[in-house]
Amino acid sequence: MSFTAEVKNEAIHVDRITSELISELSALFYNNANIDSEIKISTENAAIARFVYREIKQIFDVNAKITVRKGYNFNKRYIYILEMTKKKEKILENLGLIEKGKKLLIPKEYIVDDEDLVRAYLRGLFLACGSINDPKTSRYHLEFLVNCEIYAKFIKKLLNQFRLNSKIIKRENKYMVYIKEAEKISDFLRIIKTMNAVLYYEDIRIYRDHKNMTNRLNNCEQANVDKIIETSQIQIKNIEYLKENDVYDLLDDKVKEVASYRLKYPEVSLLELSEIISMETQKTITKSGVHHRMKKIEDLVEKIRRKR
């Protein structure tokens, strides 16, 4: 079972009151219902089909006709079709989807009149057209695919009431409202009250963040080692250049001392080199002191090269 299906199955079993159910069903019907002489809802999720059937019967006293079909082409999943012919107008009016027989582009205000109703509406929206990537995958992504730009902007506004930073992009003849940030996706799961999904999502997210931080630290450490070796090789080449051109003896004794230790310890950093020299000679020298003497060697090499 996909992570999306797991979240939807949990969302179905959230406790809610009748007013919240109306908002939830409003979102579900708006996005999944085909309205003609009857209301027809299709879904591949059996739990959602049972949920709609049960709640429509309880709220409106309507028994929906259920048909089960196999998916077309290579899709072997079953499709559950619910058909409602009785009280069609009453159902749609109560769900805030029509006014004077005409379908509305966005639901009536009372459907999302307070925060709890907005949460319920977003839960129904997710059941109808939501999709979420498993946090174990390479990227975080939550999306809702809707048909109308005005409705997409309405959904974006609802989501951003909770500071979820949702955005809209057009995809062929549809509109995708999406969230990319891991923290915001986790907040959405909390908003629709799927707490098991929140715990799972947070566990995986924290693990991935920790793993990424460890990798970054390892990369930084390796980069530092590479930089130390590269710097050391340049310093050794400068010292050897002076020796090959018989000008090494122009260096004073303190600089020669640092040069000899660099040749002896080619893979250590300047800080480590200063500590080794201080310990072995009993004369304190800082990292800055070692760097200053190496700079004298570098300057002498540059001076000789310019003359030649």
In a domain, 35, yes or no: yes
Domain count, the chain: 2
Are residues 181 and 246 both part of a single domain? no
In a domain, 152, yes or no: yes
CB 192 within 8 A of CB 159: no
**pLDDT at res. 72:** 65
Mean pLDDT of the chain: 88
Are residues 173 and 78 both part of a single domain? yes
Residue 73 has pLDDT above 80, yes or no: no
DSSP label at residue 111:
G
In a domain, 208, yes or no: no
**pLDDT at res. 294:** 87
Are residues 131 and 241 both part of a single domain? no
Residue 186 has pLDDT above 70, yes or no: yes
Are residues 131 and 251 both part of a single domain? no
CB 193 within 8 A of CB 14: yes
In a domain, 209, yes or no: no
Are residues 127 and 262 both part of a single domain? no
The pTM assigned to this predicted structure is 0.70
What is the domain-level CATH number for residue 28?
Answer: 3.10.28.10
Q: What is the mean pLDDT of residues 37-56?
A: 90
Bridge partners (DSSP) of residue 142 are 132, 179
Which among 5, 292, 287, 271 has a CA at the least distance from the CA of 131? 5
- Sign of the C-alpha dihedral, residues 212, 217, 219, 220? positive
**pLDDT at res. 230:** 86
Distance CA 8, CA 3 (A): 9
Are residues 169 and 276 both part of a single domain? no
One-letter amino acid for residue 167 of the chain: K
Are residues 59 and 139 both part of a single domain? yes
| Residue 41 structural domain | 3-193
Cα-Cα-Cα-Cα dihedral of 139, 144, 150, 153, to 10°?
-50
Are residues 109 and 178 both part of a single domain? yes
In a domain, 126, yes or no: yes
Are residues 245 and 118 both part of a single domain? no
Q: How confident is the model at residue 174 (pLDDT cuts 50, 70, 90)?
A: very high
Are residues 144 and 68 both part of a single domain? yes
In a domain, 103, yes or no: yes
In a domain, 210, yes or no: no
Which tens digit of pLDDT belongs to each residue from 75-124? Answer: 567 889 999 988 888 999 999 998 887 888 999 999 999 999 999 999 99
Are residues 162 and 263 both part of a single domain? no
In a domain, 276, yes or no: yes
